[in-house]
Structure 1
Amino acid sequence: MSLTQQQDDKEFTRSPSHFADRITADGSSPWPVEAGRYRLVVSRACPWAGRALIVRRLLGLEDAISVGVVDPIQDERSWRFTLDADDRDPVLGIRFLSEAYAKAEPDYDGGVSVPAIVDVPSGRLVTNDYQRITLDLSTEWTAHHRPGAPDLYPERLRDEIDAVNAEVFRDVNNGVYMAGFSRDQEAYEGHVHRLFERLDALSERLEDRRYLVGDTITEADIRLFVTLVRFDAVYHGHFKCNRRKLTELPVLWAYARDLFQTPGFGDTVDFDHIKRHYYYVHHEINPARIVAVGPDPRGWLTPHGREELGGRPFGDGTPPGPVPAAERVPDLG
């Protein structure tokens, strides 16, 4: 997650991914697919990093790509490893993710974002291209997928998945930020209206189908889920996306609960990290840095009824196994 604000036109602008090298299986890049070589650095607060956590888990890449989790609260040096002993990542040996950025480009002075994939032997950042990372986990790392791993980016559906993803990114994933960081009333209202128009269109699409594209979970569902799971907790109030709550959108609320209760989704979500990050770090929106108490997350565990629509969550595959002990998130109680 990396944010910039254009002050002159009062519009929020998301920084592009500056480091966009790819890890490939065919030798077409300097970075070969190699189990154990790379470390995925994430914040559980960040929706873009949340995508990578879900895909990694669904595909069973835990043993092939280790994960480092940063503190949800950034300081002036950005993401920090204060959740680990001695405030250092135990694999990379660094205190701040910016150190891996500096190894890749010593003069770099831009934002430090997650997800980030770091080359362990050199300590150098390989990529922070959140739009590409999950697609490459699906298509380049197939030799290390678990038996029964689902096909999250099936070739025959890629054009449709890409089209859905483009609309969801523009109006929903990024739309909530466009609204939340608007500095102009008219611009803010326009972004909120487009957001809810898209949510209504998605509700209509999902009314009689269990998943966005085809009859199995795909990359499209993962990209929508990471925004929906944060919606009532932070985007509704903190970002003023408050025409309606997710819980007031019956189709999307049931759809999101269906995914949350699917292994690989809810077991990667940490609501404490999500709320503390947004309410504390965005001090220009919430200068008192008061973290909201609600909503009660246990609603995510209530029945959703979406099984009646059919569909096969993992296609011809199987659910992922138990979450590794070191990666478990707090129980919803």
Structure 2
Amino acid sequence: MTGDGSFERDRTYITTRITADGRDGFPVEAGRYRLVIARACPWANRSAIVRRLMGLEDVLSLGIAGPLHDERSWCFHLDPGGRDPVLGIETLREAYDRREPGYPSGITVPAIVDVPTGRVVTNDFERITLDLGSEWAAHQRDGAPDLYPEGWRDEIDDVADKVYRDVNDGVYQCGFAAGQQAYDKAYQRLWARLDWLEERLAGRRYLVGDTLTEADVRLFPTLVRFDAVYHGHFKCNRQKLTELPALWAYARDLFQTPGFGDTIDFAQIKAHYYVVHHDINPTGVVPRGPDTSGWLSPHGREQLGGRPFGDGTPPPPPPPAERVPRLGRAG
């Protein structure tokens, strides 16, 4: 927290990269690494989406931390015996401590772990998705999209930076504000940016160009969590996502695109925010709503044109072990 009660995110990450040439000591190798995510976490959601879009399921295994944790670490309480079946650990902190004993910063997801040593290689969530789309090219599926095309990178970076500052992190600045003035400033920035996005997406299918890009991958995880947790739990309550015509249609369009909605587990999302954030929700009561069946309703965005995967193709369905529950009505 800053002096005026504003929330300030710790941006200290392990920036080691896994690259095709192995210049940081970690070359891309099929089967060597494990991507650890939590279905609840929006930052981890990005890497789960890109892994799906690139078709890396057979070469980069997926560990899933449960939605509940304490101040020390994410843990694998959903796995048999409470241990990750590949890494053999109960908490993600164990992999961080193997990288640096007494690791002093946040134990965050996503994290990529070197399976032979059990050490975290990187938790730099922004770099992870970019590298999955580029450095892992030799292992990508046929038809994998280019999410960071060279000719659009400046615009992608500009839009993604605005989205990160005011929306991805903006909802947290609202939710964790420790003073009215800090909250009011964050709230105003959030809604000014959401209004900007509503206008931008009214006449175009995707944020940049006519295909899916890294910018869309970065916005979607916040939008899909908005009505379920951010609107009420984080006091981002000027309007619901469902009351913003362009953004709601855009979010449904992405949700129904293979690789996006099939990474979303609303029950785990709500359990994490409403149970773990004791200071915001001390009772730990998890709301029954909202109704999620609307995510599968027609969005009508096809009339705006665009080609979701560019010259590529949709990914196949996720492996059976990675499938999430089907949507249904709340209650």
Shorter-chain-normalised TM-score: which range? over 0.9
| Residue 92 (1) aligns with residue 87 (2) | yes
SS in 1 for 2:242: helix
1:221 to 216, 223, 236: 216
Q: How many residues are paired up?
A: 328
Alignment of 1:1-333 (within 5 A): 6=1, 8-333=3-328
Rounded to whole Å, the distance in 1 between the matches of 2:196 and 2:9 is 24
Instruction: Tell me the alpha carbon deviations over residues 267-320 of structure 1, each in whole angstroms, 9 at most, x when there is no partner.
Output: 000000000000010110001111111110101011110000000000011000
Q: Is the 8 A contact 2:12 2:105 kept in 1?
A: no
What TM-score does the superposition give when structure 2 sets the normalisation length?
0.97
Q: Is the 8 A contact 1:205 1:212 kept in 2?
A: yes
SS in 1 for 2:35: strand
Counterpart code for 1:279:
Y
SS in 1 for 2:132: helix
Identity percentage of aligned residues: 68
Q: Is the 8 A contact 1:46 1:114 kept in 2?
A: yes
Q: Is the 8 A contact 1:17 1:130 kept in 2?
A: no
Q: 1:147 to 1:56 in 2, by over 3 A?
A: same
Instruction: Tell me the alpha carbon deviations over residues 73-95 of structure 1, each in whole angstroms, 9 at most, x when there is no partner.
Output: 00243211111111111100111
Q: Is the 8 A contact 2:2 2:8 kept in 1?
A: no
Counterpart code for 1:278:
Y
SS in 1 for 2:34: strand
Segment drifting more, 73-82 vs 156-165: 73-82
Q: Is the 8 A contact 1:17 1:128 kept in 2?
A: no
Report the aligned-residue RMSD. 0.9
Which residues of structure 1 form unaligned runs of 5+?
1-5
Rounded to whole Å, the distance in 2 between the matches of 1:170 and 1:120 is 33
Rounded to whole Å, the distance in 1 between the matches of 2:179 and 2:295 is 34
What TM-score does the superposition give when structure 1 sets the normalisation length?
0.97
Rounded to whole Å, the distance in 1 between the matches of 2:195 and 2:139 is 38
Rounded to whole Å, the distance in 2 between the matches of 1:96 and 1:41 is 11
SS in 2 for 1:67: strand
Shift of 1:120: 0.2
Rounded to whole Å, the distance in 1 between the matches of 2:119 and 2:156 is 32
Q: Is the 8 A contact 1:164 1:220 kept in 2?
A: yes
SS in 2 for 1:125: strand
Over 4 Å off, 4+ runs? none
